Structure 1
Amino acid sequence: REQADLQRVFPDLYMNSLSNVLTQGMNRKKKHEVEALAAVVSWIARSVGANTVVDVGAGQGYLAQVLSFEYQLSVIAIDACSHHGRITNARAERIKKHYAAKMHKSRSEDRNLNMPKTVTCRVLSTDTFKTLSDSLLQKDDLQKANLTGKGVGEHSLEGLPDGNVPSCCVDSKPSLLLAGLHACGDLSVTMLRTFLECKDVKAVVSIGCCYNLLSEEVENADSQCGFPMSKGIKSAGLSLGKSSRDLACQSAERWRCLGKDAGLHNFELHAFRAAFQMVLFRYYPEILITSPAIGRQGKALRRQHHQRILESTLHHEESAHSSPSLSQKNCKKKGSCPTMNSAEAGTAKNKGTFEIPLSDTGNSTPKSCGAADFASSILEMDALFRGVSFNQSTKCEATKSVDKYSLFEKFSRSGLCRLGLHHLQDINFAGLWKETEPFAELIGPYWSLRAALGPVLETILLLDRLLFLQEQGNSLEAVMIPIFDPTLSPRNVALIAKKI
């Protein structure tokens, strides 16, 4: 799903280049998404005459603020987390000051500055959404909607009784556009149903994610679940299940961009997770039946490590070219490697320092699983990962001295801490790893085949939503367009629909 030529799909599309003030706090992925989606939403809003954009699942308000300040749209940001609402308001105030100063300098103070209004509301159903949209359509002041104020520009629907909703503004013929940047699970589905059922919603631009959190029901054809939505899929009796929906979240484009080392590193971690499940099966069976989740251990740290590898590899190549004798000397040093500096070789800080030599087998047992122990276990794993290359052709023989078993033991100890479990003295990590290691080489081919099916399953979910809209007749237009670069943002397909 390569990114579409947006200028061709949306004639006269204007994509503003965002200033540092607007992009503060955004990573490269978020900046790319917000730039593209804001331009598309602005184009769609103009085409349908929508006077208000509702940013559904707004988070910290990045999209809402760009639409408000850069595209001068009236925006309402909805999120279930009141903390996000406060962050959005505070950030918007800072941005407003910047724009006000800029306008004063250019003597264009007659222009009104739009600020996104925030609403704290957990959108659980289409009815909730319709109630909310009715309330929001009081033209100038959300406080007229009989909502409970939570500060300047922030409101909550909590405590609003059913049927006690103010009537819509009759005179102004208001219209809404619903926009969702990676609206999670059923939220993206609720947006589509609200678009159909609420006459004031003229268009929807939805980019879904978290398919694993979708509700699914095939037995009851009349149920309003996340999948299937369309009559066509329901009549076929197609069922995916949680495992397949998990798989639909795979990022095939990112896999293709991984280098050999990074790919092998990922397979190694999957092998550790599988072996750790054996630890739970043997020693903590009562925990295993609850389907525990340990998350992606050290995710941020591993990303930093991957970046360090890329940077230090380039540095090593330059050093080797300019001074080969020095490079060879460094590789002969015990415990040293061009992919890390001496400060990173095994030292980390967590209320003190500790060193993880490359030959460490990790025999120490954490006394408890508190925050400090958990942080230490993650830092220990990262220290080991820094000194390990999973590419067997590595130039540095010192890194080969770290065996996979010691990494597995560190991984397992960290996993036990994440689950709040005390380490039992009789856990035979070495025996379990010896038992499972022969199967580790199957992880790569197996996982690659599964990952290749991810886009197919995601396409089924997306086509179900498109078919659901197309089944409504000729009163609307609906298309699917990949608007992001898939290597930056794998969930890049926008479902765009408007009433005609």
Structure 2
Amino acid sequence: MDLLQRRLDDVLCYLAPHWNFVNCHMVNYSTDKHWLQFIPEAIRAEFHTIDDINKAIESLIWQSDRDSQRFPVLAKFLAAAEHERLQAHPELLTTVEQLEELLAAKRQSELSIKEFMSAKKYHEVERTAALVNKLVHGTAIEPSASYIVDAGDGKGYLSSRLSIQYELRVLGIDANASNTENALSRNRKLQKAWNGLTERAELQSQGITPPRRGKKSTTTAATIVPPSLENYKTTARFITTKLNLTDLLVDHFNIQPTDIKPSICLTGLHTCGNLASTCLRVFHAQENCRLLCNIGCCYHLLREHYSQQEFFGNKALMDMQTDYGFPLSSYLQKRKVCLGRNARMLAAQSIERTIAAKELPNITLYYRALLEVLVCRHAPHLKNELQVGKVRKFANFQEYVQKCAEKLNEPWLAAVTHDELEGLLDEYQQDRHYLELFHLLRMSFAPVLESVILLDRLLYLREQGYANSFLIDLFDAVISPRHFAIVAIKS
């Protein structure tokens, strides 16, 4: 706990002068002069032309050159942010291999079975399912008493893999009833195709090119008995600490009073917003929850205890929350640590994926900032009030404004002349390039902010006495930006 507390102290100390920066809104970039307000003067002094901006992005962002002679202050700024990321502190992380050694789990060769999902989802499901299976079989739990509860089951990607490939009994819980119905339908289709998928994976593992789909194979794999349909159940519930998971398992799997009490592994792949925090609380509150494996996401939907200015698009769902999602640890609660909604939104962005793709912000970001200039000119009472959302299929700024006027039903916006819009583009033409660098510099804080959320969750588990609680870098960060898993084991 001391190590976690010191790391949190260091991260919060680093973030202290930057809270307004990470909580600013890109919508106000031009109106509130963000470049002057948030970028340190020593960094601004390194930039005089658009060419400077482009070269800094190429060398310092895309190529990660930290020995830049041309932009030394900016290079130092970026290096400082990198030092605060979790990956720079391996003493806080546990690898899957280290966990296997702790569990004394036998390493198994895993078939790479590709089925009905995107490459991203396949990567996530395969690694999460393998980890859950290791946890279940690597702990001293009677196999006949083991059950998986998948929180935020969604379409059942993870649950299906656990129930079919690993033959584990799984109860998928999702707040949306239509999700549970679709998950069962998908599971039935997957079961029908499973033998063929397994056969193809086995051939590929031997370096053999399998026959085209639809052609009958001459191998004996087709005689494999399909896995039981009884392994996977679903229910539509909103998860809180008061939802008794043992009772749900008894109802859905017909567990008899004479049976061994179920031992639950509570898992969740990209549990949204507060659900991740709730899962940690459920794990602690319910005795039969013996294992936890949670990967969270959607930090902007966390219900913060000490944040005053919040906006939730999914207000009905958020109103159902009974607990705060951040901070969880008493250490941060005593300090009344507050992130802020915009900071949490930023925490969910992926600097790794942006750098890998050399991806500059979409032109919409620049156009939206210019739109806010028009708001301040013509309807100042609406500053920071317009929720534009996504605008699609526009060829230029004029078309973007026209679509916004129609979408928002704002006559004053539709009345803005072509000449004024052209004049606005001329006036702020350099802003587009400076905005691009500003956006990337702000994104450098994303993994730092995420580390506060994740370390708070891990510290919460340690405070509750779970010495066997771990933070595992589970996915490829470029493929799956939310790539850290929280794992805990009750002794």
TM class by smaller structure: 0.5 to 0.7
Q: Give the alignment partner of residue 225 of structure 1, picking from 310, 320, 324.
A: 324
Are positions 1:201 and 2:289 aligned together? Answer: yes
Q: How has the CA–CA distance of structure 1 residues 138 and 84 changed in structure 2, closer, same or farther, with 3 Å as cutoff?
A: closer
Look up the match of 2:355: 256
Look up the match of 2:241: 126
User: Any gaps of 5 or more consecutive residues in structure 2?
Assistant: 1-85, 88-92, 200-219, 309-321
Look up the match of 2:261: 173
Highest Rg: 1 or 2? 1
Answer yes or no: is the 8 Å Cα contact 1:267–1:444 preserved in 2: no
The aligned runs of 1:349-428 (5 Å cut-off) are 378-379=392-393, 381=394, 384=395, 407-419=396-408, 421=410, 424-427=414-417, 428=420
Answer yes or no: is the 8 Å Cα contact 1:294–1:418 preserved in 2: no
Mean Cα displacement is larger for which, 459-468 or 283-292? 283-292
Secondary structure of the 2:348 match is: coil
Look up the match of 2:24: none
Aligned mates of 2:99, 2:489 — CA distance in 1: 15
Are positions 1:135 and 2:124 aligned together? Answer: no
Look up the match of 1:29: 120
Summarize deviations over 1:255-296 as a string: whole Å, max 9, x none: 22123xx32xx264321221122334444556555451413x
Equivalent pairs, count: 356
User: Any gaps of 5 or more consecutive residues in structure 1?
Assistant: 143-167, 298-377, 385-406
Aligned mates of 1:40, 1:280 — CA distance in 2: 51
Aligned mates of 1:252, 1:114 — CA distance in 2: 42
Normalization by structure 1: what TM-score? 0.65
Root-mean-square deviation (CA, aligned residues, Å) is 3.0
Shift in Å at residue 34 of structure 1?
A: 0.5
Shift in Å at residue 15 of structure 1?
A: 6.0
Summarize deviations over 1:379-411 as a string: whole Å, max 9, x none: 4x3xx4xxxxxxxxxxxxxxxxxxxxxx22233
Answer yes or no: is the 8 Å Cα contact 1:185–1:208 preserved in 2: yes
Look up the match of 2:369: 274
Look up the match of 1:356: none
Answer yes or no: is the 8 Å Cα contact 1:15–1:39 preserved in 2: no
The one-letter code matched in structure 2 to 1:430 is E
Mean Cα displacement is larger for which, 429-438 or 40-49? 429-438
Answer yes or no: is the 8 Å Cα contact 2:307–2:340 preserved in 1: no
Answer yes or no: is the 8 Å Cα contact 1:82–1:120 preserved in 2: yes
The one-letter code matched in structure 2 to 1:450 is R
| Greater RCO (CA < 8 Å, at least 6 residues apart) | 2
Look up the match of 1:349: none
Aligned mates of 2:154, 2:169 — CA distance in 1: 17
Secondary structure of the 2:326 match is: coil
Summarize deviations over 1:87-138 as a string: whole Å, max 9, x none: 1111111122234788996545496455421111122x311x33x5422234
The aligned runs of 1:38-437 (5 Å cut-off) are 38-48=129-139, 49=141, 51-99=146-194, 106-109=222-225, 112-123=228-239, 125-127=240-242, 129-130=243-244, 132-138=245-251, 140-141=253-254, 169=257, 171-218=259-306, 224-259=323-358, 262-263=359-360, 266=361, 268-283=363-378, 288-295=383-390, 297=391, 378-379=392-393, 381=394, 384=395, 407-419=396-408, 421=410, 424-427=414-417, 428-437=420-429
Summarize deviations over 1:192-220 as a string: whole Å, max 9, x none: 00000001111111111111111111399
Mean Cα displacement is larger for which, 93-102 or 446-455? 93-102
Normalization by structure 2: what TM-score? 0.66
Aligned mates of 1:294, 1:13 — CA distance in 2: 47
Aligned mates of 1:455, 1:111 — CA distance in 2: 41
Aligned mates of 1:248, 1:60 — CA distance in 2: 25
Aligned mates of 2:226, 2:160 — CA distance in 1: 20
Secondary structure of the 1:271 match is: helix
The one-letter code matched in structure 1 to 2:484 is V
Q: Give the alignment partner of residue 6 of structure 1, picking from 63, 87, 96.
A: 96
Q: How has the CA–CA distance of structure 1 residues 99 and 426 changed in structure 2, closer, same or farther, with 3 Å as cutoff?
A: closer
Look up the match of 2:17: none
Secondary structure of the 2:444 match is: helix
Secondary structure of the 1:180 match is: strand
Aligned mates of 2:125, 2:277 — CA distance in 1: 21
Look up the match of 1:454: 446
Answer yes or no: is the 8 Å Cα contact 2:241–2:278 preserved in 1: yes
The one-letter code matched in structure 1 to 2:324 is C
Secondary structure of the 2:400 match is: helix
Aligned mates of 1:229, 1:461 — CA distance in 2: 9
Aligned mates of 2:120, 2:94 — CA distance in 1: 17
Answer yes or no: is the 8 Å Cα contact 1:207–1:494 preserved in 2: yes
Secondary structure of the 2:468 match is: strand
Answer yes or no: is the 8 Å Cα contact 2:194–2:226 preserved in 1: no
